[in-house]
Structure 1
Amino acid sequence: MADAARKLDVTPPAVTQRLKQLESRLSIRLLDRSGRRLVLTDEGELLAAHARRICGDIDDLADLLSSRRSTVAGDLRVIAPLGFGQRYIAPAIAGFRSMYPEVTVSLTLSDRPTRIADDMWELMIHIGEMRDSSLVSKYLAPNRRVLCAAPQYLTRHGVPAHPDDLRAHDCIALRENDEDVTMWRFTPGERGTAANVRIEPVLSSNDGGTVRDWALAGLGVIVRSEWDVAEHLRAGALVPLLEDWKLPDADIVALVNSRHGRSARATRFLDYLRESMSPPPWLPSAGGEGKRPRAEGTQRTAAR
């Protein structure tokens, strides 16, 4: 209630009074007031959902009117994964906002963005497996997945020569996007049989940065997006493993909300994102820092 008062620039008692007037007019309770907590009733949830759609329609109308005077305006709502959103989407929004000051932007960072109701966003940045094929996706940048570990871990535990060897290693799992994160799927670079390895993680987290930092500390083997580990691979702090095998790519795409995706602000922001990621900022420029270090040795690690 206090947060609503700040956003509306009124006093908290004024918000309480408006809520009471709305409940009186509708002859229903919108909030359950139990102790110090306020919880939406079923009717309150229904009203909130429809109100968000109405507000979205108003934004669309404002955007349509703005397009007639060749301006980009309105409220752009973006959802992005935690780590990637912090590192690349937030700075892009800052640059976009300086170009289009009549656009307001709301960025939500989440480890499970696809679970957020579609009336809460215009654009969603997505990395990895797509479960809902009905969503319209716009390609932004390539992103491969890399199996890697720190040199100090490999010194202690040896270098896997085949995906099956990973069953004897300390593996670290990133739990995201409701994927089956303990099934690591490998395709041979040349002719051969694919290998699917069910790992038993010694550590797991829903935060990619935490998983990467555990690997940097020498705690185990990870599968991580290239955008997050490229600089550590170039520096030798992490070493790529099983380079003759390929993991499924996790390209970076923008999912477009079918209700809002045609707005000028969404289209311009998509163009801005594509430009900012071409070439991908996590990859070395042409003639850059050279080849990544390669794990030495091909010994098969015995199960401990």
Structure 2
Amino acid sequence: MDRIDAMRAFVAVVTEGSFSKAAITMQLSPQLVSKYVAKLEEELHTRLLNRTTRKVSLTEAGSQYFTHAQQILLSIDEMASQLGGLQQHPKGVLRISAPVSFALKHMAKLITDFQDRYPSVTVDLQLSDRKVDIVEEGFDIALRIGQLQSSSLIAKQIAPIRVVLCASPEYLKAHGTPKQLEDLESHRYLHYSYMNVETKGQIYKYLKTKQFKERSVFHSNNGDVLVEAAIAGGGLILQPTFIASEALSTGKLVVVLPEYEPSPLGLYAVYAHRKLLPHKVRCFIDFITNYYGTPPYWDENI
């Protein structure tokens, strides 16, 4: 027996004055209402109602229980109403984890525009290139870049992420422009430390070989630093265009071996549950889905 349903039946009988009227109010049969109340009394080991053929009346215990039951049901209904309000009008704290470079370059305006539309949502944006455990660490959403492996999490692709090999014109003038993959052996390479995912493409396969990584002259776990080093003439870099697009569009960097450009990665919004998704999460996913455009705005001028 559902205790709440039984409690509602009891309160309805008292309020309406009879089992038949309570049944009409609850859209149940009088027999089921009577069964609910009887089971409630059985579980409480107390008679709550005195029944006659003409009317029902509260016992002393029933009077006390009625007062408390009303308060409990009111609290439950208020809570349901508040939660329903969250679904209709998103509010509360939305915790998001995002990669450092992407967030620094492309999320400040996104968050501002999102909060203009949904002013009752407070955003807590945490930047990390580490793969966070969104459930254990209490995040609503994580933005991730790569070719995601299957998991119990839900992942929605937001935008394609191009990755290009590039260098400064000054560096290429001094060291020559590679014409084929084997030419890379004579070049300086600025290595991104987190480039360890299984990614399709001959350039990835070549640059991830142990011998080539050992010849890398600069290692960093941050793509922005590597882009700046490449602009300064430090060597070749393999980086996503969302970091390098400005340098590429202004000629500070130029693409090398474009015919070997690897398949695009993806920017994904990852979250834990598809059913009963909080409205604040659903609104953010819907908002970001078309925000960056197709192709993304950072690829339009390169």
Q: Offset of 1:118 from its aligned partner?
A: 3.9
Within a 5 Å distance, the mapping from 1:191-206 to structure 2 comes to 196-197=206-207, 198=209, 199-200=212-213, 201-206=216-221
> Map of 1:116-195 to 2, 5 A cutoff?
118-131=136-149, 133-176=151-194, 179-180=195-196, 186-187=201-202
Q: Would the aligned equivalents of 1:148 and 1:238 in 2 still touch at CA under 8 Å?
A: yes
CA RMSD of the aligned region, Å?
2.8
* TM-score, scaled relative to structure 1: 0.64
Distance in 2 separating the partners of 1:208 and 1:260: 36
Number of equivalent positions: 218
Q: Per the alignment, do residues 267 and 117 of structure 1 end up closer, same or farther by CA in structure 2, a change over 3 Å counting?
A: closer
- The answer as to whether partners of 1:63 and 1:72 remain within 8 angstroms in 2 is no
Cα shift readout 1:35-72 (whole Å, capped 9, x = no counterpart): xxxxxxxxxxxxxxxxxxxxxxxxx989733246x211
- Larger Rg: 1 or 2? 2
Structure 1 counterpart of 2:270, which letter?
L
Structure 2 gaps of 5+ residues are 1-78
2:75 is the alignment partner of 1:74: no
Aligned to 1:253: 268
Identity, % of aligned positions: 30
Aligned pairs for 1:53-92 within 5 A: 64-67=83-86, 70-92=88-110
What is the CA-CA distance between 1:115 and the residue it aligns to? 5.5
1:116 positional shift: 6.2
Alignment match, 1:110: 128
What TM-score does the superposition give when structure 2 sets the normalisation length? 0.65
Q: Deviation digits for residues 92-121 of structure 1, max 9, x if unmatched? A: 112211221211111000121436664421
Q: CA deviation at 1:277?
A: 0.9
Q: CA offset at residue 82 of structure 1?
A: 0.4
Matched-pair contact (CA < 8 Å) for 2:135–2:272: no
Listed one character per residue, the Cα deviations across residues 222-271 of structure 1 (whole Å, up to 9, x for unaligned) are 00001111222121111101111131422111111238981111111111
Q: For residues 263-274 of structure 1, what are the structure 2 equivalents within 5 Å?
A: 263-274=278-289
Shift of 1:74: 1.8
CA distance in 2, matches of 1:269, 1:61: 23
Judging changes above 3 Å, is the alpha-carbon distance between structure 1 residues 222 and 214 closer, same or farther for their aligned structure 2 residues?
A: same
Match of 2:299 in 1: 283
| 1:225 aligns with one of 233, 237, 240 | 240
Residue aligning to 1:240: 255
